[in-house]
Amino acid sequence: MKTQVAIIGAGPSGLLLGHLLRAEGVDCVVLERQTGDYVLSRIRAGVLEQITVSLMERLGLDARMKAEGLPHDGFNLADGERLIRIDIAGLTGKQVMVYGQTELTRDLMEASEARGLEVVYSASDLALHDVESDAPYVTYTKDGAEHRVDARFIVGCDGFHGPSRKSIPASVSTEFEKVYPFGWLGILSDVPPCNHELIYANHERGFALASQRSHTRSRYYVDVPLTEKIEDWSDDRIWDELAVRLGPEAAANITRGPSIEKSIAPLRSYIFAPMRFGSLLLCGDAAHIVPPTGAKGLNLAASDVHYAAEALTGFFARNAPDSIIAYSDKALARVWKAERFSWSLTKLMHRFPEDGPFERAMQVAELDYISSSRAAQTAIAENYVGLPA
């Protein structure tokens, strides 16, 4: 098979890119290792920036998001006693959309057939070949048969563990990484949220986040040492911990219920540069990971995809080959800023085991400054809502 762009991975990055390319008349195929059901079973964050919402609008795939998503004008930082509200709408004129990433992936998946986007699921043993040349190709196995896709470009949208990034030689690339000494234990439950907006809390017992998927489904997190086992966390233990860490105001409004999902995810900051080598471009988690504080993961994937679609349509539709060369620098400029914000919000809102009284006093001083400074709140709000692409 021959195509213009072979996309590896049918997560949000790969599907969004496929749709954007098809909308511009560029030929592409998406190759995914798992089944569609498996892809939709992954539980992910649920705050969309304006850029992500606009891409779905541009594709005309925003109907369900507009009907079921919850636009939020602000969010809160809690420091054990009080809530510091960040008025995103008042400070930036923008909103964020609370809509599960899994739902966005489902919308993209369900529209693929009607939009002529070919997605091959259950493609195993995928390998990339000749990515440094102008004639790269991908091989994979499906139903016991070997397949080969020749393309002008390959885009790696295959997440942190996929094979794409590994086909860029170490001699031309650099990895930047910070691993945090804790993970987030998340619980999903069909109960009304404790607050109409999100609350990120820094309590002496640790971090907590009150989030939501809808008016009847809540998503909460507490941070735990990486040595903790999920089996040791009964639903009651998690609810007790949340009630303490989120502070008395939120605790009074928590509705408890059985968990429908419960897991621990480690936190990491990771950037791989460059994001292009020869005819291979990387998008989303294949190139970078952010800690979930600030919910930048999917939104950063969406901005990469926006730049990649622009570069590829520039190449194929507008005879602008230089657009491909510009991709990595353009994408990385935004990636670094989102990485910085996610890292700084993580540092501000978590108790690190190595922190002493000085570091703690710095957190208190910073939260106090934020609570009293419109400039500080504006800086947080404009990063949270998403920097311009």
Among 48, 86, 301, 380, binds ligand APR (CB under 6 A): 301
Site membership for ligand APR, residue 12 (CB under 6 A) = yes
CA distance 289 to 157: 13
- List the interface residues with ligand PHB, window 25-84 (CB under 6 A): 45-47
Among 21, 275, 295, 311, binds ligand PHB (CB under 6 A): 295
Report CA 384 to chain centroid distance, whole Å: 13
Binding segment (CB under 6 A) for ligand APR, from list 29-37, 200-208, 240-248, 330-338: 29-37
Q: Among 158, 197, 223, 310, which residue interacts with ligand APR (rule: CB under 6 A)?
A: 158
Three-class SS of residue 356? coil
Contact assessment for residue 246 and residue 255, using Cβ atoms and an 8 Å cutoff:
no
In angstroms, give the least distance from the CB of 212 to ligand PHB.
Answer: 7
Active-site residue identified among 19, 292, 327, 330: 292
Q: Is 297 in the site for ligand APR (CB under 6 A)?
A: yes
Q: How far apart are CB 362 and ligand PHB at their closest, in Å? A: 22
Which conformational region is residue 122 in: left (phi greater than 0), alpha (psi within -120 to 50 degrees), or beta? left
- Give Cβ neighbours of residue 270 (< 8 Å, ≥ 6 apart): 160, 175, 176, 177, 178, 288, 289
For residues 267 and 178, give the distance between their C-alpha atoms in angstroms, rounded to a whole number: 9
Q: Reply yes or no on whether 262 is catalytic.
A: no
Spatial CB neighbours of 200, under 8 Å, sequence gap ≥ 6: 75, 76, 77, 78, 207, 208, 209, 293, 345, 349
Return the number of the residue (18 or 162) whose C-beta is nearest ligand APR.
162
Measure the CA–CA gap between 211 and 338, rounded to whole angstroms: 20
- Examine residue 211 and tell whether it contacts ligand PHB (CB under 6 A): yes
Per-residue contact string for residues 241-280; x = within reach of ligand PHB by CB under 6 A = ----------------------------------------
99 is catalytic: no
Name the residues that contact ligand PHB, by CB under 6 A. Answer: 45-47, 198, 211, 219, 292-295
